[in-house]
Amino acid sequence: MKTIVQTGLVLLISTSLFAQTQSPNKLVLGAEKVNQQATKTAYVAQEVSNQLHNAGQQVYATATNVKSIIALFDPIRQLHRKRKKTGDSTTTLEPEVVPVEVLVTSTATPMAQSPTLVEAVSPALDNVNAVAFVPENHLYNPDGSANLGNQNHEQFGCYLDMMRGQILDGITVATETQSVDLIFAATDYFNSQLPMYALLTPSYVKNELAANYYFRGPNYKDANVPPKTWPKVNESEIALTTISPVQFERIQNNNQLAAIVQQTQGFKSYFESRTKLTGKTFAVKTEMGNRTCYGLLYVVEHLGTTGTNGFLKVRLKVTGFDANSDGYPDAAMYLSK
């Protein structure tokens, strides 16, 4: 009996000791399990954070892409349409609209990477073939060009407002002097059998004595060159580009225009040529505190010479300003003086 009791006590003590040795192991295993769960939770949280970041980057990229494709503004076609009567009022003909493909990165699934093309509707500011352009008067042509006369022309003014695509003569320019970006002049004064054609900036004409010679002709002498008396003038710059007429047609957005302007060399306050300007494209920039404009001036045709019938048929593409961030140029921004 005593032996049985002793054996029972030994078993009880052994069981107790075994239980004591096993409890710490169970605690360790439990802690490791909690650790693993916490690590897994942190990983999932990081994945969610990464996906949200990627989605945000895709949204940002989409917004940047939409902004980058802001169309150029064609002020001649957009602002000089013939007006039609509606009842007792007069309104400008509505601009045509054409579909434009916009690159958009889908964010419906955070990890999606494939870009898709969606269709948006944009004003066709430079689409010659969409709807016939009916010009408001004889200064503008159905092909979307404007008639820029030399300083001697009887009908067409020699002053060009790039932002509004407006041709100004000696009368209309009197109250619009700060809107002029370029002046076209032609003369036979420069002791040569060939005429001299020049695109002059207002600041050059106002401040340089040599500018007087470009104005020599039936209408002007040294004493009455109008820009000489203007109180303030635009400090524009001009340079001849290397792009062809076909390439000019292909330029459709701000990024493309900016690239052309940045890559063009030799900006000056005037450009002169002994040959006609047909087919040439010029980069023009005006950078001032109250006026910023980057544009391309394409000479469709140069007609006449230095007399009262000499003029240029020109087309314009200028920077598209988007004040309300809808991706399209705002015509109202080009109407302020």
pLDDT of residue 127: 44
Residue 91 has pLDDT above 80, yes or no: no
Lowest mean pLDDT among 15-24, 193-202, 218-227: 15-24
Q: How far apart are CA 113 and CA 225, in angstroms?
A: 62
| pLDDT-above-90 percentage for the chain | 48
Residue 31 token pair = 């802690």
Nearest 5°: the CA angle 283, 284, 285 is 130
Q: How confident is the model at residue 103 (pLDDT cuts 50, 70, 90)?
A: very low
Rounded to 5 degrees, what are φ and ψ at 236? -80, 170
pLDDT of residue 217: 82
pLDDT of residue 34: 62
Rounded to 5 degrees, what are φ and ψ at 185? -135, 150
pLDDT of residue 261: 92
Residue 26 has pLDDT above 80, yes or no: no
pLDDT of residue 300: 98
Q: Is the model's pTM score more than 0.75?
A: no
Instruction: Tell me the per-residue pLDDT of 179-193, one tens digit each, with 9 for 90 and over.
Output: 999 999 999 888 778
Strand 196-200 and strand 236-240: the pairing is unpaired
Q: What is the mean pLDDT of residues 165-178?
A: 94
Q: How far apart are CA 140 and CA 202, in angstroms?
A: 23
> Cβ(146)–Cβ(314) under 8 Å?
yes
Q: How far apart are CA 230 and CA 279, in angstroms?
A: 32
pLDDT of residue 24: 55
Q: How confident is the model at residue 116 (pLDDT cuts 50, 70, 90)?
A: very low
Q: What is the mean pLDDT of residues 136-154?
A: 96
pLDDT of residue 52: 58
Residue 62 token pair = 């989409």
CA distances from 154 to 80, 150, 169, 306, 309 (A): 21, 9, 10, 12, 7
H helix runs in 156-225, sequence order:
202-207, 211-214
Q: How far apart are CA 165 and CA 126, in angstroms?
A: 13
Q: What is the mean pLDDT of residues 67-77?
A: 84
Q: How far apart are CA 125 and CA 73, in angstroms?
A: 6
Tokens 């430079």 sit at which residue? 126
- In this structure, the chain runs to a length of 337
Most confident stretch, 5-19, 44-58, 233-247: 233-247
Diameter over CA atoms, the chain: 146
Q: How confident is the model at residue 254 (pLDDT cuts 50, 70, 90)?
A: very high
> Cβ(234)–Cβ(182) under 8 Å?
no
Most confident stretch, 116-120, 211-215, 216-220, 331-335: 211-215
Strand partners, 60: none
- Classified as helix, coil or strand, 135 is strand
Q: How far apart are CA 150 and CA 272, in angstroms?
A: 13
pLDDT of residue 119: 35
* More confident call, 326 vs 138: 138
Residue 306 has pLDDT above 90, yes or no: yes
Lowest mean pLDDT among 19-28, 172-181, 183-192: 19-28
pLDDT of residue 66: 53
Lowest mean pLDDT among 148-152, 171-175, 240-244, 289-293: 289-293
Residue 139 has pLDDT above 70, yes or no: yes
- Classified as helix, coil or strand, 290 is coil
Rounded to 5 degrees, what are φ and ψ at 150? -80, 180
Q: How far apart are CA 78 and CA 143, in angstroms?
A: 13
CA distances from 232 to 229, 290, 295 (A): 9, 12, 21
Nearest to 138 by CA among 164, 163, 167, 160: 167
Q: What is the mean pLDDT of residues 232-256?
A: 95
Instruction: Tell me the per-residue pLDDT of 31-52, one tens digit each, with 9 for 90 and over.
Output: 666 667 766 766 766 776 676 5
Residue 264 token pair = 């063009």
pLDDT of residue 328: 81
